[in-house]
A and B are shown apart, each in its own frame.
Chain A
């Protein structure tokens, strides 16, 4: 029987188990655990061990066995994990969790295991276990005495209640008979007259004999399940020796149910769920996307129908449109996961980092249940990790500094997630020293970054996101070398999101990330450019206006700027950018029929010239790369109601290309 097919499930649940252990251990370390925590951690270790043993991953079994033993002692009150006189148990357990993660990865990919790390983790756990008197070694060992030529003589007297545990004496006799020639004598003295016979009671008893070459262990095994529910004596009888059978001293312990333990229940465990592959969900989303397009097409075609002659059809189409929208929302909901999945990666990192830097940090999270598209969750983890690192490394002060400033020794990081009108906003707040405006300006001057003299705080903070900017006095190995915040902004922009900083000297810094709920649907503004339709992501659109000719300036013959109130913005003709035939509008000098859409991209604003604004609509994003190839300035495509393809403008890409051409 091939059981390798269950390996994938084992790896996955083991990782979940390790995550549960890690968060449980962290809660215990910071004394935020409840009575159930240790049981959850123990259960996870226990499950992994059982699975690993069954699937033959010895290294994992051995290490989880040590973990489990320690946790079992803690669970039974024989060990205080937080009590440092018994060693840093939680630290060692967390390290073991890391090593286990590595072992699982190695088992999954068939790569060699990290023997050094494994040895270290084992040694640490062994040392802890040696440190307790309670680590009682299991005493085992019934010596298998074999009697050559002799026989086993077995007296088997079931307790009347034997059937009530679902056991059947016949099964045992059959099993014994499978080992050798079984001699059976049935003893029916206890059998009452038929009328008084209770079919639920065991009345019969047996004297049995087996050849002496049957191992004692095999006989013990046959009776293992019932040894508390019968009188049993097993004796080796020499050939022709007189039989002297006396009852075993340990006879018929009464198996009564001990007081039932109160049931442990947790609300979160009540969720019923099924595990479905992401591919299936994505296929479903694709299909719904097609349906939305078909529906839009029908809508468009039907708009020319005579409403009175086709009332029923139009009502049906209206209904279809509603159903489609609901279906789309419901299907999108399937991909949604609580941001907890991303947040849960952080406590461990905070703990390790704080310990390394000698800082005291408390991480609190709010709104973990806020849901976000699975793909977004995966992509937001790296930026979040980076931001949290930055906050601990640069934002929070050392305990003595904090005390001097009249603050609590322990710095607080607060991570919140909340819905805000079709977006999710994730904020990371630290109560550290705040951003230092003067230092940032000094650094910007050193790096030659342009900044106005009377720049607002927001504009100054924005400098941090510029490539190559770093204000750390000392470059630490933690927050890197000033590569980071620019990458963070880029990664978040790639998700259609936006990041900004707020800060007050001495009071701390807040990083605010605003993200769309999903990458699969986009709120767009459709515009006509050179006879084609393009979609501008609504998140990037600042405003649209019809420019006056006198507000357009041409600099150095080529580059054009548009004056919008007090700002000059680069003006870009989208038709020219995408190499489309330019509309006739510029044939007439002074004519200003074109429209301009101002978008914010890559931290700057840009005026895009289009032929016409067509409207706002939700579009289903189709990936261009998977179907064609990557095109600069285009983030994807969608299919319009009339069946035509419209490209989705990537404002960041356009801005970058524009900068390049301006620089050239």
Chain B
């Protein structure tokens, strides 16, 4: 049974790229276009890991992580942030909100897949 992943990014191209990379790695993937949408989906469906962008309208990735950690079924789930190099304080903020870790953009699809595999191993 392959793992179920939730991809959250307001950029369609990034989201599709991430989804493509992960689904070609054999994962089940669902997409959400911002934190609020992701939270709504995550409340009704269980995911083995969540990969989220940080800067998004409506609800950003950090608030999403904070909210997800409040849900019993996401207490220990790997929650990964996609950040950029310049977002140093975002990493700390994300960690404080309960993020498992981060991936620094730019990353290539293989790198992403490898990281997610490691987290879910």
Is A49 in contact with B84, judged by CB distance below 8 angstroms?
Answer: yes
- Whether the pair B12, A9 counts as a contact (CB closer than 8 A) is yes
A16: nearest chain-B partner, CB-CB: B12
Which residues of A are found within 8 Å of B20, using beta-carbon distances? 1, 3, 5-6
A72 neighbours in B (Cβ, 8 Å): 86
Question: Chain A contacts of B82 at CB under 8 A?
Answer: 50
Q: Which of B88-111 contact A (CB under 8 A)?
A: 88, 92-93, 95-102, 105-110
Q: Are B106 and A6 in contact (CB under 8 A)?
A: no
Cβ–Cβ contact B100 & A225, under 8 A: yes
Cβ contacts under 8 Å, B17 to chain A: 3, 6, 54-55
- Give the docked Cα–Cα distance between A1 and B107 (Å): 13
A263 at the interface (CB under 8 A from B): yes
**A558 partner residues in chain B, CB cutoff 8 A:** none
Residues of A within 8 A of B34 (CB): 269
Contact A138 B21 (CB under 8 A): no
Assess whether B12 is in contact with A13, with CB atoms less than 8 Å apart.
yes
Query: Could you count the A-B residue pairs with CB atoms below 8 Å apart for me: how many are there?
Result: 133
Q: Contact at A171–B119, with CB atoms within 8 Å? A: yes
Query: With A and B bound together, what is the CA distance between A40 and B99 in angstroms?
Result: 24
Give the residue of B12, B56, B95, B98 whose beta carbon is less than 8 angstroms from that of A43.
Answer: B56
CB within 8 Å for A50 and B75 given contacts A257-B66, A260-B63, A269-B34: no
Chain B residue contacts of A54, Cβ below 8 A: 14, 17, 105-108
Q: Which of the 9-residue segments A114-122, A162-170, A302-310 touches chain B? A: A162-170
Question: Per a CB cutoff under 8 Å, which of A68, A224, A269 touches B86?
Answer: A68
Q: Are A164 and B76 interface neighbours, CB within 8 A? A: yes
Cα–Cα distance between A260 and B67 once the two chains are bound (Å): 10
Residues of A within 8 A of B101 (CB): 167, 224-225
Contact of B78 among A42, A138, A166, A224 (CB under 8 A): A166
Q: Nearest Cβ distance between residue A177 and chain B, in whole angstroms? A: 12
A609–B101 Cα gap in the complex (Å)?
Answer: 79
Residue B73, interface by CB 8 Å: no
B10 pairs with A167, CB closer than 8 A: no
A164, B55: Cβ atoms closer than 8 Å:
no
Task: Indicate if the CB atoms of A47 and B66 lie closer than 8 Å.
Answer: no
Question: Which residues does chain A contribute within 8 Å of B58, judged by CB atoms?
Answer: 263-266, 269-270
A45-57: CB near B (< 8 Å → 1, else 0) gives 0110111011110
- A615 CB within 8 Å of chain B: no
Q: A50-B84, A51-B11 are in contact. Are A166 and B63 (CB under 8 A)?
A: no
Residues from chain A with a CB closer than 8 A to the CB of B102 are: 225
Interface size on A, residues (CB 8 A): 54
Determine if B106 and A166 form an interchain contact, defined as CB atoms under 8 angstroms apart: no
Report how far A264 CA is from B57 CA in the complex, Å: 8
For residue A256, give the distance in angstroms from its CB to the closest CB of chain B: 7
- Known A164-B98, A255-B95: A51·B13 in contact at CB below 8 Å: yes
Assuming the contacts A1-B109, A68-B86, A260-B66, asked whether A228 and B95 have C-beta atoms less than 8 A apart, the reply is yes
Identity of the chain A residue whose Cβ is nearest the Cβ of B102 in the assembled complex = A225
What mask results when residues 261 to 274 of chain A are scored 1 for a CB within 8 Å of chain B, else 0? 10111100110000
Q: Is B59 interfacial (CB-CB < 8 Å)?
A: yes
A402 interface residue per 8 A CB criterion? no
Please tell me if A301 contacts chain B, counting CB pairs below 8 Å: no
Contacts of B98 in A (CB 8 A): 164-166, 257
Question: A167 contacts B16, CB within 8 Å?
Answer: no
Instruction: Give Cα A273–Cα B110 distance, bound, in whole angstroms.
Output: 31
In the assembled complex, the Cα of A564 lies from the Cα of B17 at a distance in Å of: 68
Name which of A163, A166, A168, A269 has the most chain B CB atoms within 10 A of its CB.
A166
Please, which residues of chain A bring their CB within 8 A of the CB of B97?
A: 257
Known A-B contacts A13-B13, A165-B100, A225-B100; the reply to A171 vs B121 at CB < 8 A is yes
B residues less than 8 Å from A12 (CB atoms) = 12
Query: Given the complex of chains A and B, what is the CA–CA distance between A245 and B99 in angstroms?
Result: 30
A628 proximal to B (CB < 8 A): no
A256-B96 CB under 8 A given contacts A49-B84, A269-B34: yes
Q: Does A437 make an interface contact (CB < 8 A)?
A: no
B32-57 contact mask (Cβ, 8 Å, vs A): 1 or 0:
00100000000000000100010111
On whether the beta carbons of B55 and A46 are closer than 8 Å, the reply is yes
* Most central of A10, A50, A225, A275 by chain B CB within 10 Å: A50
By beta carbon, the residue of chain A nearest B107 is A54
A500 within 8 A of B: no
CB proximity of A350 to chain B, nearest CB, Å = 27
As a 0/1 sequence over residues 189 to 220 of chain A, the CB contacts with chain B under 8 angstroms (1 = contact) are 00000000000100000000000000000000
Q: How far is the CA of A229 from the CA of B109 in the complex (A)?
A: 28
Q: Which residues of A contact B6 (CB under 8 A)?
A: none
CB distance from A131 to the nearest CB of B (A): 19
User: A166 touching B76 by the CB < 8 A rule?
Assistant: yes
What separation, in Å, do the CA atoms of A5 and B79 have in the docked complex? 27
Q: Does A322 contact B (CB under 8 A)?
A: no
Kindly state whether residue A86 has any CB partner on chain B within 8 Å: no
Chain A residues contacting B119 (CB-CB under 8 Å) are 166, 168, 171
User: B110: nearest residue on chain A (CB-CB)?
Assistant: A1
Interface of chain A residues 224 through 254 with chain B (CB within 8 A): 224-225, 228-229
Distance A265 CA – B56 CA, assembled complex (angstroms): 11
User: A174-189 CB contact bits vs B (8 Å, 1 = yes)?
Assistant: 1100000000000000
A68 cross-chain contacts in B, Cβ below 8 A: 86
Contacts of A1 in B (CB 8 A): 20-21, 24, 108-110
CB of A392, distance to nearest CB on chain B (Å): 34
In the complex formed, the residue of B with least CB distance to A222 is B118
- A269, B118: Cβ atoms closer than 8 Å: no
Assembled-state Cα–Cα distance A269/B35 (Å): 12
Report how far A56 CA is from B108 CA in the complex, Å.
Answer: 10
Which residues from chain A contact B109 at a C-beta distance below 8 Å?
A: 1, 3
Residues in B neighbouring A10, C-beta threshold 8 A: 11, 13-14
The yes or no answer to A394 lying at the interface (CB within 8 A) is no
Q: How far is the CB of A15 from chain B (nearest CB, A)?
A: 12
B residues within 8 A CB of A163?
Answer: 76
Chain B CB count within 10 A is highest, among A165, A171, A200, A228, for A165
How far apart are the CA atoms of A165 and B10 in the complex, in Å? 24
Q: Give 10 pairs: A residue, B residue, CB < 8 Å, sorted on A.
A: A3-B17, A6-B20, A13-B12, A163-B76, A165-B95, A171-B119, A175-B118, A225-B100, A255-B96, A275-B12
- 9 A-B pairs with the lowest CB-CB distances in the bound complex, closest first: A225-B101, A53-B106, A10-B13, A166-B100, A9-B13, A166-B78, A1-B109, A54-B106, A50-B105
20 more CB-based (< 8 A) A-B contacts, given A166-B49, A260-B63, A269-B34: A1-B21, A5-B20, A9-B12, A10-B13, A12-B12, A13-B11, A13-B13, A43-B56, A47-B10, A51-B11, A51-B13, A165-B95, A166-B100, A174-B121, A228-B92, A258-B96, A263-B63, A269-B57, A269-B58, A270-B58
